[in-house]
Chains A and B, each alone.
Chain A
Amino acid sequence: MSASPNLLAVEGLRKSYGGVHAVQGVSFSLEAGEILALIGPNGAGKSTCFNMLNGQIKPDGGTIHLKGEAIAGLPPRLICRRGVGRTFQITATFASMSVRENVQTALSTFAGQDRRLFGLATRQHRHEADGLLDHVGLLAQADRPCAELAYGDLKRLELAVALSGKPALLLMDEPTAGMAPRERIALMRFTASMARAQGIGVLFTEHDMDIVFEHADRVMVLNRGEVIAVGTPETVRRDPRVRTTYLGEGLVYARPVEGGAP
């Protein structure tokens, strides 16, 4: 092994559901501070990859190394504690709490204070939480119940929660879905600048090609569970296979949405 291992190294990752080979033999690597876009039509296996990377589902085969350590098959909470933050395609937040409390809860978990039975939780990490909310543009809504947020704002909240653990690797599954174009650009600019400044590796999926080509250092194209192209945005854009399977008109949403296994 080389002296400094990749931030993330994935080899031959596989997952099948019955007869559906959701992910078949995906390999790639990601460096600190690098932004890698994972694109592909619906049902290509993008979310399945994310779920294996953060431990939500166990891979059928393959290895995942984070900073040189094998993490495949560990439960999500342990993978999280090793420095992987994520957002979900369908947002998952703590609905009964305010926006700020969501972030505070995450912060107190990372600080190892969540076993305390006494002391008001709302007084802890308030400043830090507001800082994160400010970054993602949610500070004005910090006191609102999370259940009242618009969908795009929930996505931002998820990002703030994922960042609370100071992750080395950030996984973002369709982070801008449900946002207005202006918001999308702002959110991705923030993510990109933060990733570069703090050396965070980012893996994200996105259907908006403008965003992908503007922000990604590299693009990986997935189709039916297989990587069909990897490279800089320019090379991927010119790849003939990518053009027919994905960038070609009308094919983008040709496959049934989630769950509609063929």
Chain B
Amino acid sequence: MSFYVAQFLTGLAEASSLFLVACGLSIIFGVTRIVNFAHGAFYMLGAYIAYTLAERFSGAIGFWGSLLTAAIIVAMLGALVETVLLRRIYHAPELFQLLATFGLTLMVEDLAVIIWGPEDLVGPRAPGFKGAVMILGQAVPSYDLLLIVLGPLVFGLLWMLFHKTRFGVLVRAATQDREMVAALGVNQRWLFTGVFALGIFLAALGGALQISRDAVNHTMDLRIIVETFVVVVIGGLGSVGGAFLAALIVAEFNAFGILIFPGISMILMFIIMALVLIVRPYGLLGRLEAPTRAVIAAAIVWAPLSSAGRIAVAAIVVAVALMPFGVGDYWLTVGSEILIFVLFAASLQFLMSTGGLVSFGHAAFFGLGAYGAALAVKDLGLPLLPALACGTTLGCAGAVVIGWFCVRLSGVYFAMLTLAFAQIVYSVAFQWTDVTGGDNGMLGVWPDAWAASPHTFFWLALAVALGGVVLLRMIVFSPFGYRLRAVRDSALRAEATGINRMTTQWAALIIAGTFAGLAGALFAFLKGSVFPDSLGVSTSVDGLVMVLLGGIGTISGSVLGAVVYKALSIFLVSQTDYSKLVLGAVIVGLVVVFPGGLGGITARFSRLRPVLGPAPPARPESLG
């Protein structure tokens, strides 16, 4: 019994930490509608800076002063980022802000290594909270008890801030209705900067408080950002109370889940999120409130390629196909990898632009394809082509199951549910060691002799990628493609015209998942191995970045984006130790300079946006 009490208290302490970070993210989203991917990076900076201050200057400002100062410094950094970077892109489609903050995250990760080194840093213990308190015969760290008090305290302070100050009232008003605040003549810029700084302050404080509990390192940002997203989505985007409740639920489930289901402890949180979203699609305390901006502003008039375009594409394809006669094996392998990611990006792009469905978990299908192929080779002893078919089928099957759940939601919530499922699949691959080899992956997945040489494999990859992209483009212009666009443009009109939104989007997800699975299967053979990473968040994010870089408007954009991004990252990794820093800076720079992506559709965006305006939310009230 007493053991469970101690476990419960540990959960509460964890909940407080999670709450600090999550409510910051939630507040920022509520007002600015920015899904701040860099939230984890600011959290990490808070921890690093607090560590340095506590180590070097605790004489002057004391331990607690160090934590607070660190949070304030990072909040100022946040305000700087908001004014210099984000302010330029508030009017770009929502995802570009995600992309920009992702770029920032990459930069911060490398900067942290440059400044603080790659090793784990262990901060000093908090003065006065070094020991443990005996509760029912169990030792509970007194620092945990402090955190347990701190969470509700911060919650209370935020409540006061939001209900008793003019700033807080404006924040709440803006969360409910941004246009109204603008109409009231409130200086939106000032409000946004203030809110962003506040959110970042909370994240950094959360990070700073960790230094005497846990080691500080340069990977803590990704771990926390995924958990934070989960908490915010469970609680309801923009709801501080929801974040508090969700942090409690997630932390307690984690604390007890480890005892009850050790095998699935990693995915428990995602299972909770999936369940919550299916029952309450807008989170526990979130309200049905469509984003004010379309996730993707797609107002590009599409047409099949003209004959000149076809000739140009054919020329490029021929040139690529001739590459094996001119370049060495290393470059051909690099080329094959790029081609595989071209197909992966094109499949995600199909989902995003034609379907208007932004998936944060597209790697699930890629990884399922890779594992499917690897299992077919290792367990069934199948040769290359049947194994590719197995991988593709597994990707397709995954999309059937995952899609069935996900199409019940839309917008950011859809994105988060896809992320949850991808994490579930990732964790299965990671933990089901008997079948997947777990962390050690599956090795020895080599192609048959006929395709083993780099140049034949390159041609195979080219044929598959080209075939996939052509098929996807054909689907875009097919009656089904129009039906999918119809649902994206106006779910209201589509349903009133007899179109079933859910089955349409489900089918789109299955198509995209199948092609991603094919790409993944091929990837397994390229590498000769499969690791859980192929299913991980970073693979999903890579896909998103490629699509966004290329411009969401066209399939060809994703091809370009994949080539540029993959080539750049492979090149950078081989050239510099700080590839993330450079890549991040490139991404941030591109977003600022070309908010429409590399596809060169910026002009068209700016021309059509005023006409199109924000997509009206699909809610009953708007029927008028």
Give A contacts to B, CB under 8 Å: 47, 50-51, 54, 56-57, 75-77, 80-81, 85-86, 88-90, 92-98, 101, 104-106, 108-110, 113-122, 124, 145, 147-148, 158, 161-162, 164-165, 173, 258-259
Contact = CB atoms under 8 A, between A and B. Distances in A.
A226 to B, nearest CB: 20
A260 to B, nearest CB: 11
A161 B497 contact: yes
Closest 6 CB pairs of A and B: A89-B624, A92-B493, A94-B489, A114-B483, A80-B498, A121-B482
A54 B620 contact: no
Contacts of A148: 611
14 contacts: A47-B623, A81-B498, A90-B616, A105-B482, A105-B486, A109-B497, A109-B499, A113-B479, A115-B507, A117-B511, A119-B478, A121-B482, A145-B301, A148-B611
A129 to B, nearest CB: 12
A98 B477 CA distance: 13
Which secondary structure dominates where chain B touches chain A?
helix
A43 to B, nearest CB: 11
Nearest to A54: B496
Contacts of B496: 54, 56, 76-77, 80, 85-86, 88, 92, 162
Contacts of B498: 77, 80-81, 109-110, 165
B622 interface: yes
A92 B490 contact: yes
Contact of A88 (B478, B481, B488, B624): B624
B301 A90 contact: no
B500 to A, nearest CB: 5
B304 to A, nearest CB: 7
B624 A47 contact: yes
A56 B620 contact: yes
A75 B495 contact: yes
A116 B75 CA distance: 53
Contact of A114 (B480, B489, B620): B480
A171 B592 CA distance: 46
A57 B620 contact: yes
Output the residue of A75, A109, A113, A124 with the most chain B CB within 10 A. Answer: A109
B36 to A, nearest CB: 29
Nearest to A120: B477
A47 B492 CA distance: 14
B485 A97 contact: yes
Contacts of B475: 117-118
A120 B624 contact: no
A76 B495 CA distance: 6
A92 B477 contact: no
Contacts of B477: 120-122
B389 to A, nearest CB: 19
Contacts of A258: 621, 624
Given A106-B497, A121-B477, A165-B498, A114 B482 contact: yes
Contacts of A57: 620, 623
A173 B490 contact: no
B299 A121 contact: no
B452 interface: no
Contacts of B611: 147-148
B560 to A, nearest CB: 21
B410 to A, nearest CB: 16
Given A47-B624, A147-B608, A120 B301 contact: no
B479 A116 contact: yes
Given A114-B480, A120-B304, A165-B498, A95 B490 contact: yes
B623 A89 contact: yes
Contacts of A89: 623-624
B298 interface: yes
A108 B624 contact: no
Contacts of B300: 96
Given A76-B496, A80-B498, A173-B624, A117 B485 contact: no
B604 to A, nearest CB: 11
B478 A51 contact: no
A93 B493 contact: yes
Contacts of B507: 115
Contacts of A173: 624
A116 B478 contact: yes
Nearest to B475: A117
A252 to B, nearest CB: 17
B277 to A, nearest CB: 21
Contacts of A115: 479-480, 483, 507
Given A93-B493, A96-B299, A96-B300, A121 B479 contact: yes
